[in-house]
Amino acid sequence: MAYVVPRRDARTQSEGVVEGYAQTGQRWPAQPLARRPHGLSELTSPRVTPRLQATAADLAGQGAKRSLGQLIDVRARIVDEDGAPLAGAMVEIWHCNAAGKYIHPNDSNDAPEDLNFYGAARLITDRDGKIDLRTIKPGAYPVPDTDGWWRPPHIHFSVWGRVWLSRLVTQMFFPGDPLNELDPILNAVRDPQARSRCIARFVPKAGDALVYEYDLVVRGRAATAALP
Ligand SMILES: [Fe+2]
């Protein structure tokens, strides 16, 4: 039976070309999509070797040296449309340091680097679909060549499915940040409920780090919006 591409929900997913967000003009297809047969490179999957099976990571420091910033624990759960956990899914995470600087040569932001910060992780969800990330809260950063657009603090997530073709790339935001309301990327999702699914929950809890919980839904009506 032919695979039917699910219809994209324009309200709960990101809008195509967004005013004030110049890159969307190049990213969004200008012509109708063409169907092409899937080959091996689409239908094979990430190979999870034992070395890759960590379910938790610490980006907040190397040994005794901790990166600058507010220590946080992000407890993420990857689930399907029925809330069933996705076990063994490969999840990639990256974010900037507390000053708003990425570990990447293309980052032109004039903010300091942090040599004790490790900006990315690749994790595999446990049997409950969970991964744990200890890190520092990322800073806001200005978007180059815009009229005062600052990205709110956010963490990038990429979740791989059973084949390379199956991937969800999105961003996790922090509750209560005033920049959330102004961000063209988050607000390209028109439905407020769908937007709120992109924002983590703060969990009041005594400990050495602030705790955030985040559910990422990979498909269905309440699927987490894909955000580049
Ligand atoms: Fe970012």
Distance from C-alpha of 17 to C-alpha of 29, rounded to nearest angstrom? 9
Q: What is the pLDDT of residue 94?
A: 98
Which segments in the chain show pLDDT lower than 70?
A: 1-7, 63
Distance 1 CA to ligand 1 centre (A): 39
Q: Tell how far the Cα of 171 is from the centroid of ligand 1, in angstroms.
A: 8
Q: Which amino acid is at 178?
A: P
Residue with token string 């800073």? 139
Predicted local confidence at residue 17, as pLDDT: 86
State which amino acid sits at residue 112.
P
Catalytic residues: 102, 141, 151, 154, 156
- Whole-number pLDDT of residue 4: 53
- Hey, what are 82's tokens? 């029925």
* Per-residue pLDDT reduced to its tens digit, 172-225: 999 999 999 999 999 999 999 999 999 999 999 878 999 999 999 999 989 999
Cα separation, 171 vs 62, in Å, equals 25
d(CA 90, CA 53): 9
Ligand 1 centroid from CA 150, angstroms: 11
Distance of CA 4 from the midpoint of ligand 1 (Å): 32
Residue 179: its pLDDT value, please? 98
DSSP 113-132: --TT---EEEEE--TTSEEE
State the pTM of this model. 0.92
Under 8 Å CB-to-CB from 197, ≥6 apart: which residues?
A: 215, 217, 222, 224, 225
Q: What is the pLDDT of residue 120?
A: 95
Cα–Cα nearest to 96, from 131, 125, 67? 67
User: How many Å lie between the centroid of ligand 1 and the Cα of residue 115?
Assistant: 19
